[in-house]
């Protein structure tokens, strides 16, 4: 069984899910969308945040992305993640809209 790395926001401590720890268990730090907006207002949700989100999501297995997509798809606060997940699933030929 692969070990999981818990991801938490380094600014507010909010849990941001988990990722494959590549054999290592522990905690990894990221930044959540709210803190990013708060601490980097000049960036104003630019390409760089979307790219960081995308790079992180690309490391996730397809099944995890499909589950996340189902969970998040109606959450307007998570639009950046939803768009990124849709794109990655589409690239992998796994974008399936469950009805």
Residue 9 or residue 50: which is nearer to Zn ion going by CB?
9
**Among residues 7, 8, 16, 32, the one that binds Zn ion under rule CB under 5 A:** 32
Residue 9 within binding range of Zn ion, rule CB under 5 A? yes
Residue 53 within binding range of Zn ion, rule CB under 5 A? no
Nearest Cα to Cα of residue 18 among 10, 31, 7: 7
Contacts of 31 (CB under 8 A, 6+ apart): 9, 10, 11, 39
Residue 54 in tokens: 């995308």
Half-sphere exposure of 33 (CA within 13 A, CB side): 13
**Among residues 35, 52, 72, 95, the one that binds Zn ion under rule CB under 5 A:** 35
Residue 36 or residue 66: which is nearer to Zn ion going by CB?
36
Residue 84 within binding range of Zn ion, rule CB under 5 A? no
Residue 39 within binding range of Zn ion, rule CB under 5 A? no
């Amino acid at each position: 069984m692969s070990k999981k790395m818990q991801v938490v926001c380094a600014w507010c401590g909010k849990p941001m899910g988990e990722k494959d720890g590549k054999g290592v268990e522990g905690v990894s730090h990221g930044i959540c969308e709210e803190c990013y907006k708060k601490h980097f207002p000049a960036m104003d949700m630019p390409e760089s945040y979307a790219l960081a989100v995308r790079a992180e999501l690309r490391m996730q297995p397809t099944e995890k992305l499909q589950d996340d997509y189902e969970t998040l798809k109606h959450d307007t606060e998570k639009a950046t993640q939803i768009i990124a997940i849709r794109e990655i699933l589409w690239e992998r030929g796994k974008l399936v809209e469950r009805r």
